Amino acid sequence: MVAEINAIVSRDPVGGGNRVPLGFFHSWMTYTPPLEPEQFDRCPVLLAHPGADRWTPTALSKKVLDRFPVKTQFVELPNCEHLPIEEPGLSLFRETALEFLSGAVTPTK
């Protein structure tokens, strides 16, 4: 399944099959978020991080997550790369997200 998804992504002209202009990298490197993590107070935050991600180090993601003043939860998705589609991480993500949302969403009435 992973090979098929990789083939689809690489053929996508606005996704993996696209060239990235230098302006994108400049905007990405100089972007200022509207809120810093310390200012975010709207809801709990779940970080599901791919365990085999070679693009984004887990320690870097956790460092940002630790800055949020709200309740946070971290789960590492085993065997998942940057696009987390591998098992068992994909199933763990689904289970964790459903559990997290069931505890995070409260009825309005």
pLDDT digits (tens, 9 = 90+) for 60-109: 999 999 999 999 999 999 999 998 999 999 999 999 999 999 987 665 55
- Residue 18 pLDDT: 74
Q: What is the pLDDT of the chain when averaged over all its residues?
A: 89
Per-domain residue ranges for the chain?
Answer: 1-31, 35-109
Q: Which residue has the tokens 């990235």?
A: 20
- Residue 57 pLDDT: 94
Which comes out higher in pLDDT, residue 5 or 55? 55
Do 46 and 64 meet the contact criterion of CB atoms below 8 Å apart?
no
- Residue 70 pLDDT: 96
